[in-house]
Structure 1
């Protein structure tokens, strides 16, 4: 028998084995148990989170007949009846999966809708699963609106998309929408661990966590990376082999590098950068990891409880959080983000990476460029008892300041106008005036 990849071999076959989609699973199970079945469902989410898997499980729930052949719609498909086995094997004629990327025209949609008018051949319901529905043309969307709103009672539509923003509102309003969330690294690692136990393969927990982080929320991507890691390791899957396979920088080396930056040791920091290059690691990936490390350090500085105990570098991150001020962490984070944008413009990756390191050192706040922290102001610790005692203590009146008598301002000097005295020699004597008056009389 040919080898089957882990993502297909361990695809869930019922709701109970689904991972990371508890809210969606609970809603679908309740709807099936109460027989409140919608005619159109829309599953949204990134790649590899379970949209197609949920579609197949829902189709089995709608068409399962039970082991005795007398069962009805259920939230727990038996997996043994003809309908369940046919859906798992991809040969059930009443479950049709369509790729909208390659069947996007209005002619193909019209042909599909014409076939939907016929009753199911084998099962209880005819289920159409249209994957990547956002790739349909506008005319194809318009052609399916009437059937999507009022389909025959035996037809169910399941639409799936990674980009719901491109789906017309007229289609969204006719569907029951479920958003499938991204998987956490811990959930991906836990699922990998369960699979490897059944496969009989040993693996380090730290290696699985690294694979879970690189999966970026996609379980299928994580299992594909696990397939690659098993082939690369040729034995137990170790953290060292996974790092070599992915070409990512180790957290320990990154912490050492940032400690050199924080202490202002330029020579040691550049030596660490050259060491990373000699190991064949990507400097672009190193810059991304540097920004991620600064993010974790900033979180630890504010909320120390957020640091994962399973993290192998928890001690180094705590030491780095104490060695750097919050301002330095924020500055280095911004420099790392800017370095990612500048990397394509740099002469080469090494130059772009080392310039980011030198920029972090050059822009250090005054007093920390040589690894000397600026002394922090000591704040007086206050306790409730001390506050109460200070409030109860009598207030001492302040000594009055001696009053100084105000100086009396001198009145402003008055400038009298100059009086011009008349010249007596020019004036006639009084007897002349009198004589003149008498003579005239």
Structure 2
């Protein structure tokens, strides 16, 4: 019975033209031979099974071919060689009409004595060394001794050292001199899969050729050629799956091809390859995405259980899902479909499913699956981790649509009730219809922000009618909730909170906290107005449990009507005794201390840092200025944060609208040196009482006590 030869050896390329997927290397080597610019050392690097050793053997065979010697080096024309030595001329050139002018790729003839000896593995000019088992200094020394002898036949002696990265550092160093300056007839070809392990001194002496991973389509074509030669009926999907599983190595693809042929016979089918190689089929992922797009969580979880029952690894399933989503993403655009390395039938299914999957779903799903891939190793319950990701993916379409609806809804539109019947509360006051925050009353009433403004200046700046509130929008009835359709009664006694009007003075001193004249005074040249009562602030009244009074729509309309009906030039002045500028009433210190302590205790309930700042003695001078001395700038910042609320409440409760607070940072006085040890304490006492030194010496005492 004839011995079986594996396809990787039986169909190993014998010429440069038959090398698969490495045209950039073969073209360079052919040009180097034709131009006679061969280097003394070559380094072939790349992954396994891509043709490094094969190209090294083809190069060794070609440079010693008699046809190359006669035609290239001696310059004899092809027509002359056909007449004198037809046995060394390639068949293609012999059949050409004009062989001298026929372009051809420089290849070994395969007919001469040197080529036949090489094909029979009997050539004395080609020496192969496996550096994995011959990596010592003695092996390299033996190789160097062989280099000294010239070839008996042919022009070159070629030394092919495979897996050269396995040589020891001492062997590399012993090989340096010979590699840099070999004899004219010696050529070294080094092959390795790990270029980074070779020392730089070796790299600098070689021409480096990087072999690429072989493309899936190129491997599929070569497998089709092998199947045709072996008379095997093979499906394109099966051959494509073998090429994809080989991961760029043609030798791996041929080995799997032999295995599949042994399993299925002369008819190689796609299902046989999937079953025998234990590969997750594309069908699983197409079913997975179909279930996710229809939000069928049950089918998704059952599919995951089926995958586990088949014995597949969960991590491989997650990685495959990410690759499938990536394939759908590139199929969204016809320009990028070519990036998908699958067969034509599978590519058509990818395009069909990509049209049904929204782009937002694919991007979000790919992000979730990538996150699951990164966190898979750290998960304690890995199946639950994958199931949670599938649950999120199952309802991802609904979440994306909900986000789009939120973005499409106008920002000022009222919120509709939710699906479960829960109604959203809606404010009864239209913010667009509310009066402007700085509107002055023509009859001397306070403005909406609580400050009194001169009527003459208000009339000159803007007409009252321009700021009148518009009619409110109709209130949309809701299923639940209470609408503000009437005035909210206040639990606060207005008579007790308002400060009775007092005499008006001119404010010539800038306000401490704003730098402007006080709101209770007026600038020189203006008519005096009545000081507006200061309303309680929400931050302090909230702590006391007192609700603020909100004006209703009816009240605001009546107020706007009164403002529009009042004459613009009317100026109402309150009969108040005139006072000299700068004269202020005396402050009741007991009342001030009582109010300060009350506000201090209120702040204590909310913030201890605010209480610490206020917990210190204070006193107001004749200009109604309270100097608050703090310990550091941090306390000054704390007080400035609540200064406005605190100062307004202090003025309201004490009845002094001109009262203000100045903050001063007290510099810490140095307390002198620190006494830690007994010797330090004794020296300190001895400075005050010199007799202690004499007592210590007389009694022989020690400072350690």
Match of residue 150 from structure 1: 181
8 A Cα contact 1:64 1:71, kept in partner: no
Alignment of 1:354-433 (within 5 A): 355-362=385-392, 368=398, 374-375=403-404, 407=454, 408=457, 411-412=521-522, 414=581, 416=583
Task: Confirm or deny that 1:77 pairs with 2:77.
Answer: no
8 A Cα contact 1:109 1:140, kept in partner: yes
Match of residue 285 from structure 2: 254
Match of residue 329 from structure 1: 366
Give 1:322 shift: 4.8
Q: What is the rounded CA distance, in whole Å, between the counterparts of 1:126 and 1:295 in structure 2?
A: 51
| Higher alpha-carbon deviation: 410-419 or 44-53 | 410-419
Give 1:260 shift: 2.5
1:24-56: CA deviation from partner (whole Å, max 9, x where unpaired): 111111111111110000000000000011001
Q: RCO higher in 1 or 2 (8 Å CA, sep ≥ 6)?
A: 1
Going from structure 1 to structure 2, the CA distance change for 1:44 and 1:175 (only over 3 Å counts) comes to same
What is the SS of the residue equivalent to 2:53? helix
Going from structure 1 to structure 2, the CA distance change for 1:354 and 1:239 (only over 3 Å counts) comes to farther
What is the SS of the residue equivalent to 1:178? strand
8 A Cα contact 2:292 2:393, kept in partner: no
1:362-381: CA deviation from partner (whole Å, max 9, x where unpaired): 48888736x95642657xxx
Q: What is the rounded CA distance, in whole Å, between the counterparts of 2:146 and 2:129 in structure 1?
A: 13
What is the SS of the residue equivalent to 1:42? strand
Structure of larger gyration radius: 2
Match of residue 44 from structure 1: 45
Taking structure 2 as the reference length, the TM-score comes to 0.51
Give 1:238 shift: 1.0
Taking structure 1 as the reference length, the TM-score comes to 0.79
Going from structure 1 to structure 2, the CA distance change for 1:91 and 1:288 (only over 3 Å counts) comes to farther
Alignment of 1:133-144 (within 5 A): 133-144=164-175
Going from structure 1 to structure 2, the CA distance change for 1:90 and 1:72 (only over 3 Å counts) comes to farther
Alignment root-mean-square deviation, CA: 3.0
Match of residue 427 from structure 2: none
Give 1:282 shift: 4.2
Give 1:416 shift: 2.8
8 A Cα contact 1:43 1:159, kept in partner: yes
Give 1:262 shift: 4.8
Match of residue 162 from structure 1: 193
1:213-253: CA deviation from partner (whole Å, max 9, x where unpaired): 11000010011111111111123111111000111111122
Match of residue 5 from structure 2: 4
Alignment of 1:112-261 (within 5 A): 112-261=143-292
Q: What is the rounded CA distance, in whole Å, between the counterparts of 1:275 and 1:31 in structure 2?
A: 57
8 A Cα contact 1:44 1:160, kept in partner: yes
Q: What is the rounded CA distance, in whole Å, between the counterparts of 1:336 and 1:262 in structure 2?
A: 21
Higher helix share: 1
Q: What is the rounded CA distance, in whole Å, between the counterparts of 1:160 and 1:418 in structure 2?
A: 103
What is the SS of the residue equivalent to 2:158? strand
1:271 to 287, 302, 315: 302
What is the SS of the residue equivalent to 2:17? helix
Q: What is the rounded CA distance, in whole Å, between the counterparts of 2:273 and 2:402 in structure 1?
A: 38
8 A Cα contact 2:34 2:72, kept in partner: no
Give 1:356 shift: 1.2
Match of residue 427 from structure 1: none
Listed as ranges, the gaps of 5+ residues in structure 1 are 379-401, 420-441
What is the SS of the residue equivalent to 2:268? coil
Give 1:61 shift: 1.1
Give 1:297 shift: 2.8
1:40-95: CA deviation from partner (whole Å, max 9, x where unpaired): 0000000000001100100011100139x955669310112222122223221210
1:90-117: CA deviation from partner (whole Å, max 9, x where unpaired): 2212101111110000111111111111
Give 1:290 shift: 1.8
Listed as ranges, the gaps of 5+ residues in structure 2 are 74-104, 409-435, 441-452, 458-518, 523-578, 587-705
Give 1:326 shift: 1.4
Q: What is the rounded CA distance, in whole Å, between the counterparts of 1:373 and 1:221 in structure 2?
A: 49
What is the SS of the residue equivalent to 1:43? strand
Going from structure 1 to structure 2, the CA distance change for 1:322 and 1:50 (only over 3 Å counts) comes to same
Aligned residues: 388
Give 1:411 shift: 3.8
Give 1:208 shift: 0.9
Q: What is the rounded CA distance, in whole Å, between the counterparts of 2:267 and 2:584 in structure 1?
A: 117
Q: What is the rounded CA distance, in whole Å, between the counterparts of 1:417 and 1:359 in structure 2?
A: 74
Going from structure 1 to structure 2, the CA distance change for 1:247 and 1:320 (only over 3 Å counts) comes to farther
8 A Cα contact 2:368 2:389, kept in partner: no
1:372-421: CA deviation from partner (whole Å, max 9, x where unpaired): 5642657xxxxxxxxxxxxxxxxxxxxxxx998884477447453689xx
Match of residue 66 from structure 2: 65
Q: What is the rounded CA distance, in whole Å, between the counterparts of 1:77 and 1:235 in structure 2?
A: 35
Match of residue 344 from structure 2: 310
